[in-house]
Amino acid sequence: MTLEYLERKKVESNFYLNCFRATVQITGVLILINVVLSVVAAKHLLDPKPTQWIATTIDGRLINI
C-alpha cells in the first residue's frame, strides 16, 4: 500500500477573497439604499404638502378653507 501525494488547494485565499467581495457588495447595496432614502427625505423637505386649514362653526360643522 503506497500513500499517494494529493495536491492541496489553497482554500484560505479563496475564502478571504470571497468574504472581501461579499463585504464590498453589501457595502454598495447599503450605500445605494442610503442615497435613495436621502433623496426621498430631501424631496419631502423641499416640496412639502400644502397645509389644509379647517375652520369650525359655532354648531361644530367643519369648513375647509
How much is the mean pLDDT over the chain? 83
- Tens-digit pLDDT profile for residues 43-64: 999 987 776 777 888 887 877 7
CA–CA distance from 42 to each of 29, 56, 57 (Å)?
A: 20, 34, 38
Greater pLDDT, 60 or 1: 60
- Please give the Cα distance from 18 to 23 (Å, whole number): 9
Greater pLDDT, 53 or 25: 25
